[in-house]
Amino acid sequence: MTSPHPAPAIVIDRVTKNFTLRHARSIKEMSVRALRGQRLSDRFRALDEVSLTIGQGETVALMGLNGSGKSTLLKLISGVMSPDAGSVLVRGRVAGLIDVGAGLHPELTGRENVFLNGAILGMRKAEIARKFDAIADFSGVGRFLDDQVKFYSSGMFMRLAFSIAAHTEPDVFLIDEVLAVGDPPFRDKCLDRIRELRGEGRTMVVVAHDIRMLVGLCDRGVTMRQGRVIFDGPTEEAGRLVREDRAARRAAAQAGTAAAPGVSGGIGDLGG
């Protein structure tokens, strides 16, 4: 029997992340702005005191409008980015599909990338060799395996990246919008593989805009708005709040106003 309170796999404690928005891209632009007394850059708060604990074996959907901070939060969990304040603790091996294909090297072949990316994701050479056929089969890249991946279509690229990550047997698996890229049969295969990983008790955090898919896949939904967690509970309810935000954003756009829920407002967001 599973415990109602699984041991934490991810603990995010009052995490804040700021980015610098540069307004001038050239020395000329900088000079013009300086002469006019305009700012050269602004600080933008992408995450604002976010706290979240995810238990081992949970499948959590991270939802919210564009710019609400989902991807930034996944990057902090994966360790590719560090918080400006607060802490992120992750137990076990993390594999992520965060920036699709970011781990694939365009000049290398699919085969070489399986070994390189597999190693980056923490697999030993013998383990990759043992799983190579399964990775190649799952990706469906077939006869293109010995071509450089820069010649792959975006779908093939994503399939190979997903296949490598999904065979690393991670304790924590992070998935960002990759399911939106693939063709429907591959998407179903990915969903089956995610369910399999879930059945093996792995922890999963999934970011996607397809609310219906998330409701079918995840035990728990977290809704973000302007860098903050505004809801954490049943996935349906989390999704309902996102639909509300979408409707408000549409209404605001029609009314011609700039401010809508969850839409990043730059420096103005910092205070409120």
Ligand X SMILES: Nc1ncnc2c1ncn2[C@@H]1O[C@H](COP(=O)(O)OP(=O)(O)OP(=O)(O)O)[C@@H](O)[C@H]1O
Q: Does 83 interact with ligand X (rule: CB under 6 A)?
A: no
- How big is the CA angle at 162 (ends 215 and 11), to the nearest 5 degrees? 60
> Which residue, 67 or 118, has its beta carbon nearer to ligand X?
67
Which structure tokens are listed for 128? 């990759």
- How big is the CA angle at 227 (ends 198 and 251), to the nearest 5 degrees? 100
Distance of CA 51 to the CA centre of its chain: 17
Q: Does 66 interact with ligand X (rule: CB under 6 A)?
A: yes
Q: Does 78 interact with ligand X (rule: CB under 6 A)?
A: no
Q: Does 41 interact with ligand X (rule: CB under 6 A)?
A: no
The residue type found at 218 is C
Cα gap 207→186, rounded to integer Å = 18
- In the bound complex, what is the minimum distance in angstroms from residue 132's beta carbon to ligand X? 32
> Which residue, 20 or 257, has its beta carbon nearer to ligand X?
20
- In the bound complex, what is the minimum distance in angstroms from residue 14's beta carbon to ligand X? 17
Contact pick of 15, 57, 70, 241 for ligand X (by CB under 6 A): 70
Q: Does 19 interact with ligand X (rule: CB under 6 A)?
A: yes
**Binding positions for ligand X, 172-211, rule CB under 6 A:** none
> Which residue, 108 or 252, has its beta carbon nearer to ligand X?
252
Of 121, 70, 117, residue with least CA distance to 93: 121
Buried-exposed string 124-154: b where 16+ CB fall within 10 A, e elsewhere: eeeebeebbeebbebbbbeebbeeebeebee
> Which residue, 19 or 132, has its beta carbon nearer to ligand X?
19
Contact pick of 55, 57, 64, 103 for ligand X (by CB under 6 A): 64
- In the bound complex, what is the minimum distance in angstroms from residue 20's beta carbon to ligand X? 7
H-helix segments, the chain: 27-35, 70-78, 110-120, 125-139, 154-166, 184-199, 211-217, 235-255
- In the bound complex, what is the minimum distance in angstroms from residue 38's beta carbon to ligand X? 19
Contact pick of 69, 83, 101, 261 for ligand X (by CB under 6 A): 69
Contact pick of 68, 139, 168, 223 for ligand X (by CB under 6 A): 68
Which structure tokens are listed for 104? 């694939």
- Indicate if the alpha-carbon torsion angle 154, 158, 161, 163 is positive or negative: negative
Residues that bind ligand X (CB under 6 A): 19, 44, 46, 64, 66-72, 264
